[in-house]
Amino acid sequence: MGETLKIALAQLDLLVGDVRGNAAKVIESARGARSDLGADLVLFPELALSGYPPEDLLFHRGLRRQIEAGLKQLCAELTDVRVLVGFPEYAGGVIYNSAALITEGKIAAIHRKAELPNYKVFDEKRYFQPGTRATLADCRGFSTGLLVCEDLWEPHSAQLARAGGAQLLVVINASPYEIHKQREREETARARIREVGVPLAYVNLVGGQDELVFDGNSFVMDAQGQVVMRAPAFAEGIWVAEFSRDPGGRVVPLAGTVAPELSDEASVYSALVLGVRDYVTKHGFPGVIIGLSGGVDSALTLAIAVDALGKERVHAVMMPSRYTSSMSVEDAREQSRLLGIRYSVLSIEGMFEATLATLKEEFAGLAADATEENVQSRCRMLLLMGLSNKTGRMLLTTGNKSEMAVGYATLYGDMAGGFAPIKDCSKTLVYRLANYRNSLGRVIPQRVIEREPTAELRAGQKDSDSLPPYEILDPILEGFIEEDLSVDEIEARGFDRATVGKVLDLVKRNEYKRRQAPPGVRVSRRAFGRDWRYPITSGYRR
């Protein structure tokens, strides 16, 4: 019986569908954890071989063959270190979300995930069959209960493992980021520990995958529910925790480094940077194009892009019209100088005039309205997409969640692009993030943050002409979108009923726009995308 057990938490950034690449990364990481860190057991994230979430790739016969080959490769090449690795297990006509414990080149145990989440961004019941049994394994004399992600969120699996004699729980996870998620994870782990009275090691995936960002934050908790080790958020790497036995024979984790919890602004900003970096890099784009308006949304998006990709891979384009203020031109130029990026100025005035001239007879007798405003936005889209096509760089969209919610954006205009970094950030959060980024080093001119927001599509235009002030709009939107509150419930929070009704009507009316919007990083409890599934056509009335 061993007196100590060293467990390595391999907090890795993996790629969905790249089974060969993921297997190679697992092998390299396991060998390094053994040779450099002395690990006895290396934990890898949930579905590490396939990447998470693999979605309907799971139904493809080619993926099944690659998974089976990947497991054989792991067994053949990892003979001197135990690893627990997540993979989709194909068993007859069903699939399990499983974890394989590989010891001395053989699969010593397989745990099938029992609790399948089917809420928010998760739809695992579409793909997987639930497991029904506890899985225990001996690791150098330590009786270890194996769990996969959601197994920790319900009491049953941990209790079954403890009843079977588990002295330690190990949990492999692909738990996506949302604000305050780490607190929720640790509170959940603490609740399970209070029920079963044994320590726990928790490894989480890191990296961006489409709309989702995985933040890592892997941790170890003792039998009293105290975090004794926590890996840094949003960082790839391997961290080792050591476990020993106390005089009573109980398993005790030794104290390690506990990375501090990030502030809300720091964690959201880090998620946005990682999401952009991985989306652009994993798709193989050489860089990005951004339309820079002189407003706070595009300014924040530009800062995120430079932090994610480096200044050499970012090209900002200012596209003034007759309504663009000198302040906007000056501030866009100043931010580009501060960040050291390539910066172009391309006027849309000629395109705008030519378009209006072409439509003159068709518009005869009709008053100017939002149509002329939208023409300007679509002129800008033509220039940005032309540059994107010619250079191969992806266009980043700069709209925020408040605008997306109420349709304050132009379809086939400023909504065009390949990825929308701040799509899930309310306007009030955008301001907080801009100030946070400037606290690290000034990259956004202060008056960009302080000026009253305007689309500058007509003379003297302000956002407040069309929308309630953002300090009123955003709490109403949060109540409806993230909490599913009714008009009555939001009104009870102190908001004017007519205003609430108008806002909610705008949200429902503009679902058709959101369905055509690019994906963006999810940071809230509920984002437009995977976990927002409202009908486009609906007769529902509030």
Tokens found for residue 235: 């960082």
Instruction: Identify whether the C-beta of residue 83 lies closer than 8 Å to the C-beta of residue 108.
Output: no
Distance, CA of 291 to chain centre: 23
Q: Residue 169 forms beta bridges with which residues?
A: 145, 200
- Residue 456 to residues 248, 291, 401, Cα–Cα distance (Å): 72, 14, 19
SS (H, E, C) 142-156: EEEEEEEHHHHCCHH
Distance of CA 498 to the CA centre of its chain: 34
CB 170 within 8 A of CB 7: yes
> Which entry of 139, 149, 379, 425 is annotated as an active-site residue?
149
Whether the Cβ atoms of residue 124 and residue 101 lie closer than 8 Å to each other: no
Amino acid identity for residue 413 in this structure: G
Distance CA 308, CA 363 (A): 45
CA 111/CA 95 separation, integer angstroms: 13
| Nearest one of 535, 301, 524 to 433, comparing CA atoms | 301
Quick one: angle between helices 296-309 and 427-439, nearest 10? 50
Strand ranges, E, within 189-333: 200-204, 206-209, 212-215, 219-221, 227-230, 237-245, 251-253, 288-291, 314-318
Beta carbons within 10 angstroms of residue 195's beta carbon? 12
Told to judge if 113 belongs to the known catalytic residues of this protein, a careful annotator would answer yes
| CB 95, CB 88: distance < 8 Å | yes
Of how many residues is the chain composed?
Answer: 542
The single residue of 6, 25, 89, 113 carrying the catalytic annotation is: 113
User: Per the structure block, which two tokens stand in for 402?
Assistant: 């408040």
Strand 106-112 relative to strand 94-103, pairing? antiparallel
User: Per the residue annotation, which of 46, 89, 186, 491 is the catalytic one?
Assistant: 46
Catalytic residues: 46, 113, 149
